[in-house]
Amino acid sequence: MIIVTGATGFIGSCLISRLNQENFNAIIAVDDFSREDKLVNLEEKRILERVDREAFFDWLDNNYHEIEFLFHIGARTDTTEFDRSIFEHLNVEYSKKIWQKCIEYQIPLVYASSAATYGLGELGYDDNESLIPQLKPLNPYGDSKNEFDMWVLEQEKHPFFWAGLKFFNVYGPNEYHKSRMASVIYHAFCQIQQKGTMKLFRSHHPNFADGEQMRDFIYVKDVVEVCMFLMHHRRNSGIYNLGSGKARTFLDLANNTFQAMGVTPQIEFIDTPEDIRDKYQYYTQATMSKLRSIGYSQPFRSLEAGVEDYVKNYLMPGKYL
């Protein structure tokens, strides 16, 4: 059995699809299954059992001897949520309990961290673990992810293999339910489809022209390939960046979305909302040498290739991965 928490979510459901491709069909899907709009992400996937996240630890105590691997992808990921108690329960305390169970039952673990831990990037985007205590996230979500990373590094006992993955700007199929938190590619597609135009945030930074803000965008299919690699690798425990390693502008993203849809680009600029303006990242780029150094050699898709696949094979026909 392989456990995937956050199973109905964006990355979790794509990971299950990839596991099924490799004939891993004894999947234990862990999540809060009350949201109807997310359940469609699990349709046509081979899953052995669905376990509610609040009942999961009792279930694990009874079934641990059959577990081969645990992917802890589930989390509250809303960067605009400021109720810290929600993050403390779902992102910190729940993750600590998973860590402790993985030690107790000797289950290898991959868990989701986030590039939100890097804040404004004052210290760069290097996954050197000695820098983690100095990072300054910009919101409670980023704080919760960094708090757990720091806690992990302080532990004397570990699962025999573990890895934390700092996801950068992930985009791709199965994010239809994420509303405001969906990728900019998804929002671009919806705007272009409805109005023929797309709105981008105006720059409020003297070093960046409008639309020239840059992010490390990574296609979800590349994210799950790294997860598969780590499941088989099971050496070199640690915290790793997971981005493409190449920052691209929002203008690049927008133009590629228009092109994939066969629409002439029309882009308007609007002010960045004031509630996020002082916490807005103008540049992110993952340093990927650490993951490469342990043997991950597959190339990451270019923005052009990822956007084309996402738009033509999923968004336009309304399909899921």
Query: Where is the binding site for NADP(+), in residues?
Result: 10-11, 31-32, 38, 53, 73-77, 145, 170, 178
Phi/psi of residue 237, nearest 5 degrees: -60, 145
| Rounded CA separation 131/70 (Å) | 27
Single out the residue of 50, 20, 12, 49 nearest to residue 32, CA to CA: 50
One-character DSSP codes across 52-116: EGGGHHHHHHHHGGG--EEEE------TT---HHHHIIIIIIHHHHHHHHHHHTT--EEEEEEGG
The tokens describing 252, both together, are 């690049």
Residue stretches of the annotated binding site: 10-11, 31-32, 38, 53, 73-77, 145, 169-170, 178, 180, 187, 201-204, 215, 280
The question of whether 176 is a catalytic residue gets the answer no
- Name the binding residues for substrate: 169, 180, 187, 201-204, 215, 280
Kindly write down the DSSP assignment for every residue of 231-245, as one continuous string: HHH--S-EEEEES-S
Tokens of 23: 């004939």
- The DSSP secondary-structure symbol of 46 reads -
One of 94, 118, 125, 141 is an active-site residue; which one? 141
- In whole angstroms, what is the distance from residue 315 CA to residue 313 CA? 6
Strand locations in the chain (E)? 2-5, 27-31, 49-52, 69-72, 109-114, 162-167, 169-171, 198-201, 214-215, 217-219, 238-242, 248-249, 267-270
CB-side neighbour CA atoms (13 Å) of 209: 3
Q: Measured between alpha carbons, how far is 192 from 190 in angstroms, rounded to an integer? A: 6
Kindly list the distances between the CA atom of residue 177 and the CA atoms of 9, 36, 181, 251, in Å, as whole numbers in the listed order: 8, 10, 9, 25
The one-letter code for the residue type at 301 is: R
Annotated active-site residue in 178, 199, 246, 279 = 178
Q: CB–CB of 35/177 below 8 Å?
A: yes
Active site residues: 141, 178
